[in-house]
Amino acid sequence: MASSSAASAAAAAVQIAQDAWTQFGAVLLSPNSAASLTSFAAALCLAAVLLLAGRARGRSTRLKVLLRALFPRRLLFNRSNRTDIAFFLFNTVVYGAIFGWAIVTQAVVSGWVLGGLEGAFGPGPDAVVGPVGALIIGTLVLFLAAELGHWIDHWLSHRVPFLWELHKVHHSAEVLSPLTSFRMHPLDGLKFANIIALAMGLADAGLTWLLGDPANAFTVYDRNVIALAALYTVQHLQHTHLWVVYPGPLGKLITSPAQHLIHHSTDPAHFGKNLGGLLNVCDRVFGTFHAPAARRERLVLGLGPEESRHDTVMEGLVMPVVRAFGTLRARPAPAAEGKVRA
Ligand SMILES: [Zn+2]
Ligand SMILES: [Zn+2]
């Protein structure tokens, strides 16, 4: 009896391990995955091009020098990176299995809101654009809705003490690499996914009511084509040690690596700045934009010496929740209010 239950426990463990391995393979190999190897490779090529373009004339462009600039030793062996890797594995392999049920979908939100719109105003107006126009508008509006959702989520994370305790996990990184974007407390990730779904569901319902047909974005590999283009160009570079400021109109639109380094700085003047996702448009509109200097600024990244680390299961997953609920009980002393990054 005991041996048969041990055998079924072992079989279940093997099955879980196999499922996790399959999931990890899909995360790395699916071209539309936010952690696809192809998108990381594309980001690396772009980083190399940007480094070469930014090099002063006459300076060495040897491969060894380039590799050292892309992968400096002091960053490669930094313990902050190990925490990034642990969260990357947790959030790409385990997170969906535990929290997938708790994420509302864009289609569900859209259905609720569309029902409300039709109940209040009746059917939408006659379609004013053809199917191609509707597809172009849908692609753009749904992408911008996700950007607005990103900014709102991030603004709340820095403003609400409860949420800040969870978001601190991301800000405890002392060096940035593309894996830092996966360094997120699962409840912070859950809130983010739901706010994005709400924003996109609202946009979806508005578009469907106005344009007549279900709102659609032009997708490639099941991903909005604008988001996919960003994934293969600028998205992974947002978390990197490279001081890159995009020139001209690009810099006025797209969040550069330097802008996001400022977001992670411990300097109080930088707290709560540059909250946008792929675009810095919301930051410019809502007054949270902070322009980086053209040359590298001396920044210290992280939370400062008084804050806890997040490199154990207890500190990274359990204590942020305990501290978050602690903010509901404790009345913040005036001196402590500044710790909530505004
Ligand atoms: Zn933040
Ligand atoms: Zn970040």
The string of pLDDT tens digits covering residues 240-282 is 999 999 988 988 999 999 999 999 999 999 999 999 999 999 9
Longest dimension (CA), the chain: 76
**14-26, pLDDT tens digit by residue?**
887 787 788 888 8
- Ligand nearest to the Cα of 178, by number: 2
Please determine, for residue 306, whether its predicted confidence score (pLDDT) is greater than 70.
no
186-211 and 161-171 helices, crossing angle to 10°: 110
Q: Exposed, middle or buried by CB within 10 Å (0-12, 13-18, 19+), for 296?
A: middle
Cβ atoms 316, 86 nearer than 8 A: yes
Cβ atoms 148, 201 nearer than 8 A: no
Averaged pLDDT, 175-181 = 94
Show the tokens assigned to 170: 């991301």
Residue 255 phi, psi dihedral angles, 5° rounding? -65, 120
Show the tokens assigned to 172: 């405890």
67 C-alpha to center of ligand 1: Å? 29
Residues of the chain above pLDDT 90, percent: 55
111 C-alpha to center of ligand 2: Å? 32
221 C-alpha to center of ligand 2: Å? 26
Please determine, for residue 183, whether its predicted confidence score (pLDDT) is greater than 90.
yes
- Ligand nearest to the Cα of 192, by number: 1
276 C-alpha to center of ligand 1: Å? 9
CA distance 180 to 170: 7
CA distance 169 to 315: 9
**42-101, pLDDT tens digit by residue?**
999 999 999 888 776 666 678 888 898 899 888 888 889 899 999 999 988 887 777 777
Q: What is residue 42's predicted lDDT score, i.e. its pLDDT?
A: 96
315 C-alpha to center of ligand 1: Å? 18
pTM over 0.95, yes/no: no
CA distance 102 to 105: 10
Contacts of 322 (CB under 8 A, 6+ apart): none
- Ligand nearest to the Cα of 164, by number: 1
Contacts of 321 (CB under 8 A, 6+ apart): 165, 166, 185, 187
Q: What is residue 231's predicted lDDT score, i.e. its pLDDT?
A: 96
- Ligand nearest to the Cα of 150, by number: 1
303 C-alpha to center of ligand 2: Å? 12
Closest to 297 measured CA to CA, from 267, 341, 319: 267
Rounded alpha-carbon distances, angstroms, from residue 231 to 63, 84, 189, 223, 264 = 25, 19, 18, 10, 21
185 C-alpha to center of ligand 2: Å? 13
342 C-alpha to center of ligand 2: Å? 15
21 C-alpha to center of ligand 2: Å? 27
CA distance 206 to 282: 20
Show the tokens assigned to 33: 């995955």
Residues of the chain above pLDDT 70, percent: 93
323 C-alpha to center of ligand 1: Å? 17
64 C-alpha to center of ligand 1: Å? 34
180 C-alpha to center of ligand 2: Å? 7
- Ligand nearest to the Cα of 168, by number: 1
263 C-alpha to center of ligand 2: Å? 7
48 C-alpha to center of ligand 1: Å? 27
4 C-alpha to center of ligand 2: Å? 48
Mean pLDDT of the chain: 88
Block residue for tokens 């090099």: 55
Residue 140 phi, psi dihedral angles, 5° rounding? -70, -50
Cβ atoms 134, 213 nearer than 8 A: yes
Total residue count of the chain as it appears in this document: 342
Q: Could you give the residue ranges of the DSSP H alpha helices within the chain? A: 2-29, 37-54, 63-70, 73-76, 79-89, 95-99, 106-121, 131-159, 161-171, 186-211, 225-231, 248-253, 257-263, 281-286, 313, 319-329
Please determine, for residue 199, whether its predicted confidence score (pLDDT) is greater than 60.
yes
Cβ atoms 70, 64 nearer than 8 A: no
**99-121, pLDDT tens digit by residue?**
777 788 888 999 999 999 989 98
201 C-alpha to center of ligand 2: Å? 25
Q: Exposed, middle or buried by CB within 10 Å (0-12, 13-18, 19+), for 25?
A: exposed
Could you give the 3-state DSSP secondary structure of residue 265?
Answer: strand
70 C-alpha to center of ligand 1: Å? 24
Name the DSSP letter for residue 290: -
